[in-house]
């Protein structure tokens, strides 16, 4: 059945309860590749609490993207085989703790019709709140439902993407992914078979399972963390990215970064396949 615009836009569920411990925090960090060098003390701070000299476990800011995995505004009937991540934009209100009991308030804030055979864009907002009801992070997530366009909804009004500078990048870094990266990252919550089942991936139009878009998002957060943020997660105020092409496990992701004051613009490419996988990236530090 076609999407019902008014019904979808009215969906919201507040007060959904979630929790995490240091196990989930460390698993996420390993899932986006942190700790590949077991002697890098800056990265070990995110994946190892068992140090000779006690130190607090650090939390990667983009852990917010999986902290309330499964939180939903309610059921939206779309063709799941053809759904991919479109964009993610997280505003950080305070640093995430290494363990917490939280609530998630989820609502649909946008639904756009790209046309029949062109898909639909669904935008959800999730506010993560601590035990006192104070916001920890606000997530805006867009999904591209490639098989659900033509339902008669609005086609205009989506937020304008951030424009990266036209000058040469100020920094370029390479971040390698592992052939089994998707199998590890899926343990953070996203069990979509698109990332683990070769037959499902082929039916969805891909040669083989692809890396989760949200893993790529975490990799770009890691890239900012290790460059302009000096491994300080409390420096992050916002991290936003637009997914433009899939990363395959084993690819090397090349990030191009531009610094203008406290705003870091970025894009990411897989040069071996001559594709841009992340566009319009923006991080605000403070």
Digit-coded pLDDT (tens) for 78-111: 988 888 889 999 999 999 999 999 999 999 999 9
Indicate the pTM of the whole model.
Answer: 0.94
Residue 48 banded pLDDT, cuts 50, 70, 90:
very high
Strands, E assignment, the chain: 12-20, 83-92, 100-113, 120-129, 135-145, 171-176, 236-243, 252-260, 263-270, 275-285
Contact 237, 91 (CB under 8 A): yes
Catalytic pick from 85, 89, 113, 195? 195
Q: What is the predicted pLDDT for the residue at 157?
A: 85
According to DSSP, the β-strands at 236-243 and 263-270 are: unpaired
The percent of residues above 90 in pLDDT, for the chain, comes to: 88
93 noted as active-site residue:
no
195 noted as active-site residue:
yes
In order of their start, the domains of the chain are: 171-285 (3.10.129.10)
Catalytic pick from 85, 89, 113, 190? 190
Residues listed for the chain: 286
The percent of residues above 70 in pLDDT, for the chain, comes to: 100
Contact 266, 283 (CB under 8 A): yes
């Amino acid at each position: 059945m076609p999407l019902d615009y008014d019904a979808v836009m009215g969906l919201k569920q507040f007060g959904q309860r979630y929790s995490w411990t240091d196990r989930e925090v460390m698993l996420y960090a390993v899932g986006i590749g942190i700790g590949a060098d077991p002697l890098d003390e800056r990265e070990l701070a995110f994946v190892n609490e068992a140090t000779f000299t006690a130190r607090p476990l650090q939390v990667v800011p983009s852990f917010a993207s999986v902290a309330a995995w499964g939180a939903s505004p309610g059921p939206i009937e779309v063709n799941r085989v053809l759904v991919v991540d479109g964009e993610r934009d997280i505003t950080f209100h305070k640093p995430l703790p290494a363990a917490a009991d939280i609530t998630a308030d989820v609502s649909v804030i946008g639904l756009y019709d790209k046309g029949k055979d062109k898909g639909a864009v669904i935008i959800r907002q999730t506010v993560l709140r601590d035990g006192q009801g104070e916001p920890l992070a606000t997530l805006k997530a867009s999904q591209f439902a490639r098989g659900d366009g033509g339902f008669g909804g609005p086609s205009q009004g989506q937020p304008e993407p951030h424009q990266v500078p036209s000058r040469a990048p100020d920094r370029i870094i390479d971040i390698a992914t592992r052939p089994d990266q998707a199998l590890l990252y899926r343990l953070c919550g996203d069990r979509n078979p698109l990332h683990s089942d070769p037959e499902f991936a082929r039916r969805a139009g891909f040669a083989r399972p692809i890396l989760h878009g949200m893993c790529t998002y975490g990799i770009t957060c890691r890239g900012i963390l290790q460059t302009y943020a000096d491994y300080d997660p409390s420096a992050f105020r916002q991290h936003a990215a637009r997914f433009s092409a899939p990363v395959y496990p084993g690819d090397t992701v090349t990030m191009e970064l531009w610094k203008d004051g406290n705003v870091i613009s970025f894009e990411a490419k897989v040069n071996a396949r001559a594709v841009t996988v992340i566009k319009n990236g923006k991080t605000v530090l403070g």
